């Protein structure tokens, strides 16, 4: 007999299911042609969210994080520990990027308002994060996100930075964008 104590994880999966997170990810990431994944995309999203909220293991150690967990009991899907690897989750993140994270985030945040949250106003704000180092791709080209010098809210014009904009309605984030 094996005993598991995974109530925090079950609670988090329950919240994800209430927001219809698995269905939103599956709908947006599954291709109509081709082989289905062994672990549905929605379940992989839940697995990553739980990892982030709990211990934040790197992708290469996710199988270690879930080693002593009742995976089928938590995620309501048969999952073998050998299926949890960084290649699978790396491909998940590639598919997520290709499907459009802002689109998926918008669908999920709109689900939160289906539970009677009354929107009285939406507040937008920007922030910047100071960065160090070189940010180039393997082809020595500038990456997708421009990390450059500019006006910094931290008063560090000598450092590179990323600017972000976030919209919040009654404490629920409804929009976020890298500027």
pLDDT at 146: 57
- pLDDT computed for residue 44 by the predictor: 94
Query: Do 100 and 145 belong together in one domain?
Result: no
pLDDT at 65: 87
pLDDT-derived band at 1 (thresholds 50, 70, 90) equals low
pLDDT in tens, 19-77: 889 999 999 998 755 677 889 999 999 999 988 888 778 888 888 888 888 888 889 88
Q: How far is CA 20 from the centre of its chain?
A: 14
Residues 13 and 92 in one domain: yes
Helices (H), ranges, the chain: 7-18, 21-29, 41-54, 62-65, 71-75, 86-99, 101-112
13 belongs to a structural domain: yes
More confident position, 17 or 164: 17
Residue 133 confidence (pLDDT) above 90: no
User: Are 51 and 95 in the same domain?
Assistant: yes
Q: Which of 114, 136, 157 is the C-terminal boundary of a domain?
A: 114
3-state helix, strand, coil in the chain (%, to 5): 45, 15, 40
Domain final position from 99, 114, 129: 114
Q: Does residue 96 lie in a domain region? A: yes
Kindly state whether residues 109 and 28 are assigned to the same domain.
yes
Residues 125 and 83 in one domain: no
Q: Which residues does 39 contact at the CB level (< 8 Å), separation at least 6?
A: 47, 77, 79, 83, 88
The answer to the question of residue 127 being in a domain is yes
Residues 156 and 88 both lie in one domain: no
Same-domain pairing of 109 and 145: no
Residues 127 and 154: their CA atoms lie apart, in Å, by 9
Cα–Cα distance for residue pair 27/45, rounded to 1 Å: 13
Pair of tokens at residue 7: 């109530």
Host domain of residue 146:
119-178
Nearest of 159, 171, 73 to residue 122 by alpha carbon: 171
Domain count along the chain: 2
Q: Convert the pLDDT of each residue in 134-170 to its tens digit.
A: 656 666 555 555 566 766 666 767 777 777 888 888 7
Q: Are residues 83 and 130 in the same domain?
A: no
pLDDT tens column, 89-105: 988 999 999 999 888 98
23 part of a folded domain? yes
Q: What is the pLDDT of residue 43?
A: 94
Pair (130, 60) in one structural domain: no
Decide which of 60, 83, 114 is a domain's last residue. 114
pTM metric for this prediction: 0.69
Is 78 among the domain residues? yes
The answer to whether 10 and 70 have CB atoms below 8 angstroms apart is no
Residue 6: its pLDDT value, please? 66
pLDDT of residue 22: 93
Higher-pLDDT residue of 75 and 171 is 75
Residue showing tokens 């002593």 = 68
The full length of the chain comes to 179
Tokens of 150: 């500019």
The alpha carbon torsion through 165, 99, 15, 107 (nearest 10 deg) reads 60
Alpha-carbon span 56 to 49, nearest angstrom: 9
Domain contains 1: no
Task: Tell me: do 169 and 139 sit in the same domain.
Answer: yes
**What integer pLDDT is reported at residue 23 of this predicted model?**
93
Q: Specify the higher pLDDT residue, 101 or 114.
A: 101
């Amino acid at each position: 007999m094996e005993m598991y104590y995974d109530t925090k994880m079950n609670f988090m999966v329950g919240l994800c299911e209430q927001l219809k997170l698995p269905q939103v990810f599956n709908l947006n990431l599954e291709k109509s042609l081709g082989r289905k994944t062994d672990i549905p995309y929605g379940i992989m999203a839940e697995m990553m969210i739980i990892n982030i909220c709990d211990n934040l293991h790197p992708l290469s150690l996710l199988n270690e994080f879930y080693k002593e967990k009742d995976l089928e009991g938590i995620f309501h899907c048969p999952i073998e520990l050998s299926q949890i690897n960084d290649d699978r989750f790396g491909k998940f993140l590639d598919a997520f990027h290709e499907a459009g994270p802002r689109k998926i985030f918008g669908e999920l945040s709109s689900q939160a308002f289906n539970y009677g949250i009354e929107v009285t106003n939406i507040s937008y704000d920007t922030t910047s994060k100071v960065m160090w180092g070189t940010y180039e791709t393997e082809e020595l080209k500038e990456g997708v996100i421009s990390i450059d010098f500019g006006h910094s809210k931290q008063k560090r014009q000598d450092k590179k930075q990323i600017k972000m904009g976030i919209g919040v309605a009654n404490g629920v984030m409804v929009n976020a964008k890298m500027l």
